[in-house]
Structure 1
Amino acid sequence: MRVLIDTNILIYREDDRYVSPEISNLIKILSRTHTDVLLHPASLKDIHRDRNEERKRITLSKVEAYPILENAPVPDKDEEFFKKIGEPKSENDEIDNLILYSLYKNAVGFLITNDDGIHLKASNLGISDRVFYPYEAIEHFQKDLPPSETVPRPFALKKGFVSDLDPKDPIFDTLRQDYPEFDEWFTNVARDGRECYYYKKNDGSLGALMIYKFEEEPIPSNPPQPSVKRLKIATLKVSHEGNKIGELLLKVAFGIAAKSNLSQVYLTHFTEDGDRLVYLINQFGFKHVGVLPRDMGEDVFIKKLYPTGDDCKELTPLEISRDYYPSFYDGSNVNKFVAPIRPKFHHRLFTEYCDGGSRQLTFDESMGDFIVEGNTIKKAYLTNSKIKKLKEGDLILFYRSQDIKSITSLGVIEKVHYLQDNPEKIIEIIGKRSVYSKSEIEGYKKPLTIILFKHHMNLKNPVKLSVLIESSILNGQPQTIQQIDDDKFSMIKKIGEINECFTIH
């Protein structure tokens, strides 16, 4: 496996002379997993442009050990590439595009960078699952280490109160810059007993935070938004550990809103060029609806949990899944499938279920056994099934075999890659959604079909095999993916107690 690293990850803000402990850890993992680490030649040109001679010398000393990507592809005449990301506006843009193009043309398997602009462009190109922030790369590649060498995962998302937090934590620095009244606000919400979700890094500082509240009053934006019961994400901050933690916090917010019978979630934000938060929330249906009447122009973003009126009239099933998650389209324009999954992988993909599968864990309980990919929304499923009817927007119901023998979870298919037999290509396709180690993928019988999907919900009442057979939904325990008709799916919805508020026909 060949991985390209952006030299920006080697620049340690605390001291130019050293590589950060996180990056040292990453490089060690890449070495132990026999991953080829390369630099793009354009990165060296960027370093040589630095007018600070001492910093240039130090940076060059850090990169001299890494081989250069030879014959790196050049996007000069690739109109489709520039159509998706736009023409470069500066020399830095040109360098970023060259680096990203090598991934786009599959000259390397993955790219590791802290550059938010590159992450945003990767999303526009449809290759964001192959572009990692450093901590995402650690999470991904440490799966391939022997168990004795696996790096302990620091994640432990906790529910608590604002009063539990240190207002001097570095995560609040930018908020304090944007909001002169931040300290007064923090004191007030702490005294009010405001709840939050957060996780702390190994050094004790906050790595991610979501503070929320319930509101009903109008939003005084331009244009104004009417009075509706909403969940406000008052603060959503994620440090450079990657978007999976931000995705998880959004999942928490959507869950709180749905449980409280709220129709909307919203937040306000000072948007910047290449804004990582905007990039993240756009993937889950937040829409820019206006600006607050402040001097700097704070943007307002609202996400509807289910549509009203003609909201969905022109949308595809996949677009409905994106814009109104956790709602989904289940009409006759999409097919429905039941997919068997063994408990081992069910536990990784759907960590809300305890090992025995006898009950769903509460969200707070599941945080104690934190499998990042298992708690996020976007997932990947591997199968040897020969079925070729699956398409974007179709529904997939997961049947947990061997122990509880029940349909437990529902997802919307985003993309299917049929009959893949090259392990490295499979790893690239799954990207940061992977719960599988390289050795597991290499050991699987090939070819494999890869199903990329959004996990929309777990069934409130898992549908047991005995009920599936008695209701003539299935003839027996499913051994491979099988299609069911609309009538059988309707029975599963009723028996499984899927909330019809989140289904669109």
Structure 2
Amino acid sequence: MKNDAIQKVLIRDLNLRDVFFDSLRDDYPGFDKWLAKKATSGDEAYVLIVDGRLLGFLYLKEEVETDNSINPHFDERRRLKIGTFKIDSHGTVLGQRFLSIILRKMLNEGHDFTYVTLFPKQTALIALFECFGFRQWGSKNNGELVYFKDLYVFNDIYKDFPRLSLLEDSSKYLLSIFPEYHTKMFPESQLRTEKNHVIEDLSVTNSSEKIYISAARQVLDMKPGDHIVIYRTAEDGVPAEFSSVASTICTVGEVLKIDDFNNYDDFETYCGKGTIFTKDELLKFWNQQYPKFVIKMIYNVSLNKRIIRRDLRDVVGINADRWTCVQLSQDQFCHILEMGGVNESFIIN
């Protein structure tokens, strides 16, 4: 996770007496002993540290043993435990970024079950986990609730996240996004040529839900559940043949026109934390009523291998005068998934 605001670090390298952990000490007798044990054993955690302050801590652990402290108990099986998930809220929806790390790790490493324990008072965290498909399993003796996620198919783009469904009869599109927006929106789609790009702790980076505003009229044909291949265009002055690439797969949540909003405040609120555009840019779009088409989409998965424009044309067979927004056939879309090396665990079919 080089050049990423979120780093995977050895727990022993953290300040174990940090006040960040105080609420965990209050809730869990023996927390300091547990943390010291993890530090001694060389365990790692995902952390966000800003200006020397610890603001986020995520600890994951693989388990296989029976667990009778949970009711109903867990039988012996392989599962991914979300051991510690704590964020000091600072307005960047870091919880969604942590959740995407968990769920992509679950699928990439072949897990079919992950779980977390939360106290009933943690209502915001419970709502976040439920939004993305976690269901209550039971409880623990200390009063914690146990929430789990497996490979159950909800036919809901949020609850099934990050998986994408090919079960429904959906349309497929290639949508171009400018380089200056691309990697902030899709941090795991960073190109090799962007090795110096720093993935920041930004709302648009952390959010699993992305808002993009396009001038392409074909966007109006998109329906909820349709799939989008994100196409990063070339920088100015660089030939597109080898530098424009397909990088990312998303699922459409909703498409609106800018004049569907009653006023600017409604428009800005809707775009919310998932938009790459600044408030000045949004105000300009509103005043000009252009570009017109607002796309809300879920960021499912980055292609493991980016596909250059030449191969999209010559191998996938995309022939278009303009590549702003191009409808794809089912075969072309599946070919892109295959060429991009998408792990089959991310696909519901």
TM-score category of the 2 structures, normalised to the smaller one: 0.7 to 0.9
1:200 to 40, 49, 61: 49
Matched, 1:466 2:310: yes
| Matched ranges for 1:167-182 at <5 A | 167-182=16-31
Over 3 Å counting, the alpha-carbon distance change for 1:366 and 1:197 in structure 2 is farther
Over 3 Å counting, the alpha-carbon distance change for 1:367 and 1:251 in structure 2 is farther
Matched, 1:428 2:236: no
Q: What amino acid maps onto 1:432 in structure 2?
A: K
Over 3 Å counting, the alpha-carbon distance change for 1:243 and 1:222 in structure 2 is farther
Matched, 1:337 2:173: yes
Residue 502 (structure 1) aligns with: 346
Residue 409 (structure 1) aligns with: 248
| Matched ranges for 1:230-379 at <5 A | 230-242=79-91, 244-272=93-121, 275-292=123-140, 294=141, 296-304=142-150, 307=151, 311-312=152-153, 315-316=154-155, 319=156, 321-354=157-190, 357-358=191-192, 369-379=200-210
Hey, which of these two has a bigger chunk of strand by percent?
Answer: 2
| Matched ranges for 1:16-415 at <5 A | 156-202=5-51, 204-220=52-68, 221-242=70-91, 244-272=93-121, 275-292=123-140, 294=141, 296-304=142-150, 307=151, 311-312=152-153, 315-316=154-155, 319=156, 321-354=157-190, 357-358=191-192, 369-387=200-218, 388-403=220-235, 404-415=243-254
* TM-score (norm: length of structure 1): 0.61
Hey, which of these two has a bigger chunk of helix by percent?
Answer: 1
Q: Which has the higher contact order (CA 8 A, sep 6+)?
A: 2
Percent of matched pairs sharing the same residue: 26
In structure 2, the residue corresponding to 1:352 is in which secondary structure?
A: helix
Please say if residues 204 and 275 of structure 2, whose CA atoms lie closer than 8 Å, have aligned partners that are also in contact. Answer: yes
Q: What amino acid maps onto 2:40 in structure 1?
A: R
Please say if residues 214 and 293 of structure 2, whose CA atoms lie closer than 8 Å, have aligned partners that are also in contact. Answer: yes
Residue 46 (structure 1) aligns with: none
- Residue 419 of structure 1, CA deviation: 4.1
Distance in 2 (alpha carbons) for counterparts of 1:368 and 1:503: 26
Over 3 Å counting, the alpha-carbon distance change for 1:216 and 1:366 in structure 2 is farther
Distance in 2 (alpha carbons) for counterparts of 1:198 and 1:497: 28
Please say if residues 157 and 367 of structure 1, whose CA atoms lie closer than 8 Å, have aligned partners that are also in contact. Answer: no
Residue 488 (structure 1) aligns with: 332
Residue 418 (structure 1) aligns with: 257
Over 3 Å counting, the alpha-carbon distance change for 1:271 and 1:340 in structure 2 is same
Please say if residues 339 and 478 of structure 1, whose CA atoms lie closer than 8 Å, have aligned partners that are also in contact. Answer: no
Q: What amino acid maps onto 1:237 in structure 2?
A: K
Tell me how large the CA RMSD over aligned residues is.
Answer: 2.4
Distance in 2 (alpha carbons) for counterparts of 1:199 and 1:481: 36
* TM-score (norm: length of structure 2): 0.86
CA shift digits 1:336-377 (9 cap, x unpaired): 1110111111132123344xx34686xxx8765444412432
Larger radius of gyration: 1
- Residue 302 of structure 1, CA deviation: 1.2
Distance in 2 (alpha carbons) for counterparts of 1:458 and 1:477: 26
Distance in 2 (alpha carbons) for counterparts of 1:246 and 1:191: 27
Distance in 1 (alpha carbons) for counterparts of 2:197 and 2:76: 34
- Residue 191 of structure 1, CA deviation: 0.8
CA shift digits 1:110-157 (9 cap, x unpaired): xxxxxxxxxxxxxxxxxxxxxxxxxxxxxxxxxxxxxxxxxxxxx932
Please say if residues 303 and 324 of structure 1, whose CA atoms lie closer than 8 Å, have aligned partners that are also in contact. Answer: no
Matched, 1:440 2:248: no
Unaligned runs of 5+ in 2: 236-242
- Residue 231 of structure 1, CA deviation: 2.0
Please say if residues 120 and 144 of structure 2, whose CA atoms lie closer than 8 Å, have aligned partners that are also in contact. Answer: yes
- Residue 455 of structure 1, CA deviation: 0.5
Distance in 2 (alpha carbons) for counterparts of 1:464 and 1:159: 31
- Residue 186 of structure 1, CA deviation: 1.5
Report the count of equivalent residues.
332
Over 3 Å counting, the alpha-carbon distance change for 1:303 and 1:485 in structure 2 is same
Over 3 Å counting, the alpha-carbon distance change for 1:401 and 1:368 in structure 2 is closer
Distance in 2 (alpha carbons) for counterparts of 1:478 and 1:160: 45
Distance in 2 (alpha carbons) for counterparts of 1:367 and 1:256: 21
